[in-house]
Structure 1
Amino acid sequence: MNGYQSVLNLVGRLLIATLFLPAGLAKLSGFEGTLAYFASIGIPAPVFALVATIVIEIAGSIALLVGFQTRIVAVIMAVFTLIAAVTGHAFWAAPADAVYVAQLLFFKNIAVMGGLLVLASAGAGSFSIDARKVVK
């Protein structure tokens, strides 16, 4: 990866993390409320699901920020984002007055998955822990 590609990759990783890190921290600080929400939308094993969500959002964001195991983390976060889209933004099951927002959030998640899969394909670039591990 050349210089500008590595810079763009770093900026992309930072921007993706801005979606997940605050969300994970909000779920952590509002654990009980988020747990009630998870239970209300029928997520099985809501405590486990919430803890897993918090870990993926916070630890995954940090890993992306520093470029650690980026390809693996990006795939995990893409799968997580698909699950979140289907369970949390099921516009096809939303009340009529909530369809638009749910559909918007669903397709936002699909687009984020695209970015994560591109990141999984490209790797972290030169400005990362991953790049330091490569023996040249």
Structure 2
Amino acid sequence: MIAEITTIPLQLDTPAAGELFLLGRLVFGATLAFMGLNHFMDVDTMAGYAEFKGLPAPRFSVIASGTLLVLGGLGVAAGVYPVVAAGGLAVFLLVSAVTMHDFWSVDDPEEKQNEMTSFLKNLYGAGAALALLAVGGTAWPYAVGAGLF
């Protein structure tokens, strides 16, 4: 006999669970927001890399992705529109992993390793964003609480 799978709403009623959830959101969101700020601090270099990788409109892509990272990161950290913030970050991280860090097409071993590391960072970041997206429709502790759902 197969056990029935049920789902229950997110419950953070164990000791310090709400605080740990907040800390995780702050670390994750602030890190991505900082990465987004880096897009604006060195637009020309990042646009050159985006052009090298074959992205259309590289300068616009750098500015748009920087904006997404800043707003998405702050949204997750503060609990503002968490579904939009986490969803946007998940999509960005998955797309940029494949388009910007295509280690499988690199011949130089050192460059290949750097691209693989960046690819994997984007992948596990996307996993965290997807987990936050999954609970984005529930009430988050210590959150501003503005959202669509």
TM-score class, shorter-chain normalisation, is: 0.7 to 0.9
**Alpha-carbon displacement from aligned partner over 1:65-104 (angstroms, at most 9, x marks no partner):** 2110112210110000011101111011112322222112
* Aligned residue pair count: 133
The structure richer in helix per residue is: 1
- Cα shift at 1:28: 0.3
5+ residue gaps, structure 2, are 1-10
Give the alignment partner of residue 103 of structure 2, picking from 91, 100, 113: 91
Aligned-partner SS, 2:54: coil
More RCO (CA 8 Å, sep 6+): 1
Give the alignment partner of residue 102 of structure 1, picking from 115, 121, 138: 115
Distance 1:93 1:19, change over 3 A: farther
Between the aligned partners of 1:19 and 1:106, the Cα distance in structure 2 is 16
The percent identity for this pair of structures is: 27
1:51-66 pair list within 5 angstroms: 51-66=63-78
State the TM-score, normalizing by the size of structure 2: 0.80
Corresponding position of 1:11 = 23
Corresponding position of 1:127 = 142
5+ residue gaps, structure 1, are none
Bigger radius of gyration, 1 or 2?
A: 2
- Cα shift at 1:29: 1.1
- The farther-off stretch of 9-18 and 72-81 is 9-18
CA contact under 8 A between 1:5 and 1:125: conserved in structure 2? Answer: no
**Alpha-carbon displacement from aligned partner over 1:14-63 (angstroms, at most 9, x marks no partner):** 12124312211111011111111111111111122112101101111111
State the TM-score, normalizing by the size of structure 1: 0.87
